[in-house]
Amino acid sequence: MNLPKVSDVDVSGKRVLVRADLDIDIGENYRLEALLPTITYLSSKSSKIIIMGHLGRPGGKVVEELKIKPVEEELRKIAQGIEFEVLENLRFNPGEEANDVLYAKELASKGDVYVNEAFATSHRNSASITELAKLLPHAAGIRFVEETENLSKVLENPVRPLVFVVGGSKDDKKEYVKNLESLADKILIGGRLPEYYGDLALESVRQADGQDKVIIANLIQDKEDITLNSIEKFEGEIEKAGTLVLAGPMGHYEDEGHRQGTERIFKAVAASGAFKVVGGGDSLSVLSMYSLKDKFDWVSVGGGAMLEFLSKKTLPGIDVLLKRL
């Protein structure tokens, strides 16, 4: 994938709009740290750096607790010595999620060059991801390029069995699972996702549509974790894997009483000798909780974006950089 790189574009002394992944929990700074190579490079070229992103789901209106200032302050702590401006939460404007070209033009007027360093949001068709890139000379950020290179290792002759472990609560992951079936040897489904697969049988883990490939966890009675039987079944499949992709927790890990599934499955993947990648905001929080980041071959900033890239081999934010959109 021959993405245009920051070094391919003339950024010297230019106003550079950097679309970043700012949707973080304060204190979990992995996505902010991922931004540092690009803004350090731009700073070395005397660029005027203008960082933009979103936080939460304000629904196109100003929401006081979703203002970007706390994230900006966090970024300034870790990017000392680098001068930059941060725009207010892009999703305060309804034009962002509507992928509105007029809003994209408004953003474009603030810069001379566009750099996408928001891999985690590049599966969304939004004004700052797809429309804005059409209006200015553009490039992928340094970390963005590394994301595509490392995740492509899962696609290009992976050591098999290739096992996906998919958790979390967003129902759009069911569509990703369907798209991954042709690539994967096993797909293990936990979190709240089993609810989207019909009636729950509490005695034993189930297979989707009678297929051996997709194995769905059973949930405990309050549905906030997977059962012990499911944990043990998943651990057995993880132990056999040659390549592992982990996306999302197995339950409501924020609550100590519902942490068992997440802790055991994340630790089982971390202990595996397979080539292993992990991604997603909640996954990053779990990695921090158990100090597991350095146990993985690649830690992606994206969850849904990671799964979509692996299932479709591209993203809308990639297509526009390659001028396919």
Tokens of 103: 């809003």
Answer yes or no: do 178 and 101 share one domain.
Answer: no
Answer yes or no: do 103 and 183 share one domain.
Answer: no
Answer yes or no: do 138 and 201 share one domain.
Answer: no
Domain extent, residue 37, equals 6-148+314-321
Q: What is the pLDDT of residue 212?
A: 80
Residues (pLDDT < 70) of the chain are 199-204, 208-211
Residue 213 lies in a domain: yes
Long-range contacts of 200-207 (CB under 8 A, 24+ apart): 202/227, 203/229, 204/229, 205/229, 205/230, 205/233
What does residue 320 show for φ and ψ, rounded to 5 degrees? -70, -35
Q: What is the pLDDT of residue 39?
A: 98
Residue 113 lies in a domain: yes
Q: What is the pLDDT of residues 103-151, one digit of tens each?
A: 999 999 999 999 999 999 999 999 999 999 999 999 999 999 999 999 9
Residue 1 lies in a domain: no
Q: What is the pLDDT of residue 210?
A: 59
Answer yes or no: do 194 and 238 share one domain.
Answer: yes
pTM of the model: 0.92
Mapped onto helix, strand or coil, the DSSP state of residue 229 is helix
Q: Which of 157, 213, 167, 218 is nearest to 187 (CA)?
A: 213
Answer yes or no: do 158 and 305 share one domain.
Answer: yes
What is residue 278's DSSP assignment? E
Answer yes or no: do 109 and 183 share one domain.
Answer: no
Rg of the Cα trace of the chain? 20
Structural domains counted in the chain: 2
**Alpha-carbon distances of 44 from 61, 99, 281, rounded to whole Å:** 36, 32, 30
Q: Which of 72, 26, 36, 66 is nearest to 52 (CA)?
A: 72
Answer yes or no: do 141 and 160 share one domain.
Answer: no
Q: What is the pLDDT of residues 73-96, one digit of tens each?
A: 999 999 999 999 999 999 999 999
Q: Bridge partners of 300?
A: 279
Q: What is the pLDDT of residue 324?
A: 86
